[in-house]
């Protein structure tokens, strides 16, 4: 077994990156990183992901202004998942305007969900789409 020296992009070009608020521990979002976005994140201190839908680098907050400053970055024991601890600027990580992308809580008994939290911004006003 080879010793890992960092995330392993040789098996998978894209690996999951979980963003966590460095101050509160709240899980904010999950996105994907490729080697280029990972290296840019380390170089600039501003979190960069890879957008699968747009097929390009996605500098978090480039449209909304809700950027993520890198606080710390970890990789798991297999080197195939990243944990990115961030300082979330602007108060919202979610493109739907919520602080976290995980704002829908499922009730296991009914399998219905409820929205937790309030919108920080109006996505229609911010993205104008």
- CA dist., res. 72 & res. 32, Å (int): 17
Q: What residue segments make up the domains of the chain, in order of their start?
A: 15-127
Q: Is the pLDDT reported for residue 4 higher than 90?
A: no
The Cα angle at residue 67 between residues 69 and 65, in degrees rounded to 5: 150
Architecture of domain 15-127: Roll (3.10)
Joined tokens for residue 84: 């990115």
Instruction: Collect all residues with Cβ–Cβ distance below 8 Å to 100 and sequence separation of at least 6.
Output: 26, 27, 28, 29, 93, 94, 117
Q: Is the pLDDT reported for residue 1 higher than 70?
A: no
Specify the pLDDT at position 125: 92
Q: Which of 2-16, 20-34, 72-86, 88-102 has the lowest mean pLDDT?
A: 2-16
Joined tokens for residue 12: 């998978």
Q: Is the pLDDT reported for residue 112 higher than 70?
A: yes
Q: Is the pLDDT reported for residue 128 higher than 90?
A: no
């Amino acid at each position: 077994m080879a010793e890992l020296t960092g995330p392993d992009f040789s098996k998978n070009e894209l690996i999951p990156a979980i963003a966590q608020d460095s101050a509160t521990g709240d899980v904010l979002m999950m996105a994907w990183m490729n080697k280029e976005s990972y290296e840019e994140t380390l170089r600039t201190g501003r979190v960069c992901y890879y957008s699968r839908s747009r097929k390009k680098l996605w500098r978090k907050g480039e449209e909304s202004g809700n950027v993520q400053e890198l606080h710390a970055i970890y990789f798991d024991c297999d080197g195939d998942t990243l944990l990115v601890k961030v300082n979330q600027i602007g108060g919202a990580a979610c493109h739907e305007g919520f602080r976290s992308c995980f704002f829908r809580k499922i009730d296991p008994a009914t399998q219905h969900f409820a929205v937790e939290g309030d919108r920080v911004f109006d996505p229609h006003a911010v993205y104008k789409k």
